[in-house]
Amino acid sequence: MHFTRLGIAIFAVAVITGPLYTVAGYSATANLISELGAQNTPCNYLMSLAFIALGAGIVADAVRSFHRALVPFAAFGLFMALVGLFGHKPIDPAVPYVAWAHAAHGALATAAGISITVAFAWQGFRQPGAGKRIVAAALAALCLALPLAMLALPEYQGAIQRVMYLLVFQWLWLYYPSGTRA
């Protein structure tokens, strides 16, 4: 069984159904996925558990077939799971939240982004075929460019983030962990 695939499926269900269970006014185009798990938000535990399931699945697959190329992927999984333990601030500025938990969430999400970028960059050098190397290198570049696009275009940050996750998850679904190269 691929635990990563199970984690991706759980995460996808939580994201797709998120607008149905979260606060009114949530926009999949403008709001981040993390805001589905925001502090003091209805049913936030669903997205929090999805982050934990995703991360745990990635780590479990890394542990089962461990080699050094899986280390940055496992770090990505660990950071994604930890993201689920610390809630984002709510989209409504009037709703109270714990600032240090939001800061921890942001730091862990950044660490996850760095980890997956390093993982793809490494695969960009180590994959056996030129096509796979190009795809991995392109994903590393996109993992840098798309978060910058999110900052530049906040009204579309949710849509941009979803595209980024879709690309990352597609690669993980197809090639992780057996298709990684040390």
Q: Per the domain annotation, does 165 fall within a domain?
A: yes
Q: Considering the domain boundaries, does residue 143 fall inside one?
A: yes
pLDDT in tens, 166-182: 999 999 999 998 888 77
Count of structural domains within the chain: 1
66 occurs within a structural domain: yes
Mean pLDDT computed over 146-150 = 99
Rg (CA), the chain: 16
- 182: in domain: no
Residue 181 lies in a domain: no
Structure-derived torsion over alpha carbons of residues 60, 127, 149, 104, reported in degrees to the nearest 10: 30
Q: Token match 């009114």: residue?
A: 24
> In the prediction, which pLDDT does 181 show?
78
pLDDT of residue 28: 98
pLDDT of residue 178: 87
CB 27 within 8 A of CB 158: yes
Does residue 1 carry a pLDDT above 70? no
In a domain, 180, yes or no: no
Whether 103 is in a domain gets the answer: yes
Per the structure, the complete domain to which residue 39 belongs is given by 3-175
